[in-house]
Amino acid sequence: MSLTAHDRLTIGELAARSGLATSALRYYEELGLIHSERTAGGQRRYKRAVLRRIAFIRAAQQVGLTLDEARAALADLPADRTPNATEWAQVARAWQRRIDAQIADLERLRTRLTGCIGCGCLSLTRCRLYNPADTAAQTGPGARYLLGEDPAPEQR
Q: Mean pLDDT over residues 94-103, rounded?
A: 84
pLDDT tens profile 130-139: 666 677 777 7
Q: CA angle 46-51-56, nearest 5°?
A: 130
* Entry pTM: 0.62
Q: What's the distance, Cα to Cα, between the start and end of the chain in Å?
A: 54
Task: Please state which of the four CATH numbers 1.10.10.10, 3.40.50.920, 1.20.1630.10, 1.10.1660.10 is assigned to the domain occupying 5-108.
Answer: 1.10.1660.10
**Cα distances (angstroms) measured from residue 63 to each of 21, 27, 31, 67, 152:** 21, 20, 20, 12, 28
Q: Where are the domains of the chain?
A: 5-108, 121-156
Residue of 151 and 9 predicted with greater confidence: 9
Residue 71 — φ and ψ, nearest 5°?
-60, -40
Residue of 31 and 152 predicted with greater confidence: 31
**Sequence-ordered list of residues with C-beta below 8 angstroms from that of 73, at least 6 positions apart, any chain:** 56, 60, 65, 91, 94
Q: Mean pLDDT over residues 45-62, rounded?
A: 91
Angle between helices 22-30 and 49-62 (to 10 degrees): 90
| pLDDT given for residue 156 in this prediction | 46
| pLDDT given for residue 99 in this prediction | 85
Mean pLDDT of the chain: 80
